[in-house]
Amino acid sequence: MTSLRQTGAGIILEFVKTLPGMPGVYRMVSAQGDVLYVGKAKHLKKRVTAYTQPDKHPVRIQRMIAATATMEFITTHTEAEALLLEANLIRKLKPRYNILLRDDKSFPYILITGDHDYPQVTKHRGAKDHKGEYFGPFASGYAVNETLAVLQRAFQLRNCSDSIFAMRTRPCLQFQIKRCTAPCVARVTHEQYLAQVDMARQFLQGKSRKIQEKFAEEMQKASEALDFETAAAYRDRIRALTQIQQHQVVNVEGIGDADFHVLYQDKGQTCIQVFFFRAGQNFGNRAYFPRHEKDETPEDILSAFIAQFYANKPVPKEIVVSHAVTGKGVIEEALRIKSEQKVTIINPSRGPKRELVKMAVKNAKEALARRIATEASQEQIFEKLAEVFGLDGTPERIEVYDNSHIGGTNATGAMVVATPEGFQKNSYRKFNIKGDVQPGDDYGMMREVLSRRFQTLLKNESGDSYGQWPDLMLIDGGQGQLNAALKVMADLGIAEVPVAAIAKGPDRNAGRERFFMPGREPFSLESGDPILYFLQRVRDEAHRFAITTHRAKRSKALVLNPLDEIPGIGGKRKKALLMHFGSAKAVAEAGVADLQKVAGISKAVAEKIYGFFHDKDG
């Protein structure tokens, strides 16, 4: 029988002996170096001790314990600090046994710039490093664009860049269609424009009703003065504000700044809808589908989701939820520390907020139904792929390879990954061709890419998804590329990975692609076959990624300067050399005496520069 000490539980028991009774975060790590699970504890010793008795845990946790080869620990002062650290580590490491927030994209904001006399209103995404006022977050780029359109119609603020603003000599089309008051050419005074900006600010702060009333008054005055053109302009601005209020669909009095997190489950999957409210205005919603085991409770899923969601996002004062949240007090304290303000999590049982929760749950239900239907279709395609390529079972991971170069220069290889859930973009890889490959040798490039990829797998060097073996390899090319791939596999002694090549027809996506596999005659699929569409799509994704990678490498090469590689030549000396000689090529052709004529270049430095360009083979 296997002794306790030889099992994962035995290894964990050894760590327990030296653990402190303090709050902290623990990581369970496999023999391959994969982080299996990240957890937090108020009392590390007690929490980890529980893992030394596997029989008291569900089968899923028993498997995790059995796979544990070592553990890592970080102590913290409080449980709340441990929660913040845990959320950050989960987002970074994406452990297999944790509940994971997927599709964690940043949210866009509206920015009113603060570094120009005539502020610009624009969409902003990323770090808030631009001077100005930020409003949001908005759930999507569409929600931002819709609001920006209203701001332009109602307040006629400029959206052009500062450089274009400075170059204008006459009003642009935006002025003609009454979307801007043309401050660039002084069609409006500075004070009048700042008044427009202030009204836009009030609108984004939730004071749209007050602004509508002011516009209504101005429209009435203009009408009484028989200035019907001005009255019509105010009418159009009122309509713009009314339109955005109608599109927001939901506005509940007394909300202020709040996020709604509602959860709905079906068929073992979960959708969490997040609605954003700022200054009482609905800034849109987004659906999330966290990864979790089927035995996780809604309370635990929502708790883990909220902790990870705010790891890199601003925290509102109030978070409204559809279910009770596990560890509510600790999460509130952790978010208070992060945001430096009191944060309350509430699960309303009645009133307007409860009605809004019900509406959001309906949205979550519909979004999950759409996702399940899409996944069912994708799963059917993967099942049919097994038939088309004669696989032993339904593939879970398909790797597609392509190369890109121009005349053999800046050659790159690319690998994309497709799964039943879609493209797994965090598993994409690029390969800079650096071996002994002749320029333009496509087969040699493919051999290098595949050799590097599968040598890594054989050595088991990667602890992330790159360390997973494919169930099917697709090569962009014909019989020649297939032969190159098969030679690599044979040299490495790999026989269990199916390989196929997809050759383009006379026209891309024309439905005349040819498929090549070892031991089979080349074959085609019928035009209109969903499997053919899928294969065209994954091939084109690999081609897109390869081209993008190649262009990035080529752009970088264009700005490289050989002077950058000379030891001891900093920015000041490099600038002096270029100013004196005009180009790096002229510097390379200069003699020692000529180099010494440049300010800051001594005889020793001149000899070093000359030697760099002339003594490389010496």
Q: How confident is the model at residue 22 (pLDDT cuts 50, 70, 90)?
A: very high
pLDDT score recorded for residue 39: 94
- Per-residue CA distances from 154 to 178, 236, 241, 601, 602 (Å): 9, 8, 7, 61, 65
Q: How confident is the model at residue 386 (pLDDT cuts 50, 70, 90)?
A: very high
Share of the chain above pLDDT 70, in %: 89
Q: What is the mean pLDDT of residues 132-148?
A: 85
Helical ranges in 94-206 per DSSP H: 141-155, 162-167, 173-176, 190-204
- Which residues contact residue 177 at a Cβ distance below 8 angstroms, ignoring those fewer than 6 apart? none
Q: Tell me how many helices (H) and strands (E) the chain has.
A: 20, 18
pLDDT band at 341 (very low <50, low <70, confident <90, very high): very high
Weakest-pLDDT range from 196-210, 352-366, 458-472: 458-472
Average pLDDT estimate for 61-70: 91
| The two structure tokens encoding residue 34 | 């994969």
- Which pLDDT band, with edges at 50, 70 and 90, does 152 fall under? confident
**Helix 190-204 and helix 208-224: axis angle, to 10°?**
140
Identify the pLDDT of residue 3. 43
| Model confidence at 136: pLDDT above 90 | no
Other beta carbons less than 10 A from residue 557's beta carbon? 10
Q: Can you tell me which residue has the tokens 């052009």?
A: 160
Q: How confident is the model at residue 559 (pLDDT cuts 50, 70, 90)?
A: very low
- Whether the CB-CB separation of 467 and 32 falls below 8 Å is answered with yes
pLDDT at 252 over 70: no
pLDDT at residue 337, rounded to an integer: 93
Q: Which of 124-133, 225-234, 550-559 has the highest mean pLDDT?
A: 124-133
Tell me: pLDDT of 53 over 80: yes
- Band of pLDDT at residue 141, cut at 50, 70 and 90: confident
Task: Give the per-residue pLDDT at 505.
Answer: 66
H helix intervals, 521-582: 530-559, 571-581
405: pLDDT strictly greater than 90:
no
pLDDT the model gives residue 78 = 92
Backbone angles phi, psi at 601, to 5 degrees: -105, 105
Instruction: Give the pLDDT band (50/70/90) at residue 293.
Output: confident
**What pLDDT digit, counting tens, does each position of 406-454 carry?**
554 567 888 999 998 888 888 898 888 776 766 667 888 888 889 989 9
Mean pLDDT taken over the chain: 84
The 3-state DSSP class for residue 609 equals: helix
* CA–CA separation, 353 and 309 (whole Å): 21
pLDDT for the residue numbered 586: 80
Q: Confidence band (pLDDT; 50, 70, 90) for 581?
A: confident
Quick one: average pLDDT of 589-595?
A: 86
Q: Is pLDDT larger for residue 377 or for residue 195?
A: 195
In the chain the domains, ranked by start, together with CATH numbers, are 4-93 (3.40.1440.10), 258-369 (3.30.420.340), 398-551 (3.30.420.340), 562-614 (1.10.150.20)
Model confidence at 547: pLDDT above 80: yes
Of the candidates 22, 26, 27, 28, the residue with the CA atom closest to the CA atom of residue 43: 22
Which tens digit of pLDDT belongs to each residue from 446-504? 888 899 899 888 876 555 566 788 999 999 989 999 999 999 999 888 888 999 999 88
pLDDT of residue 177: 85
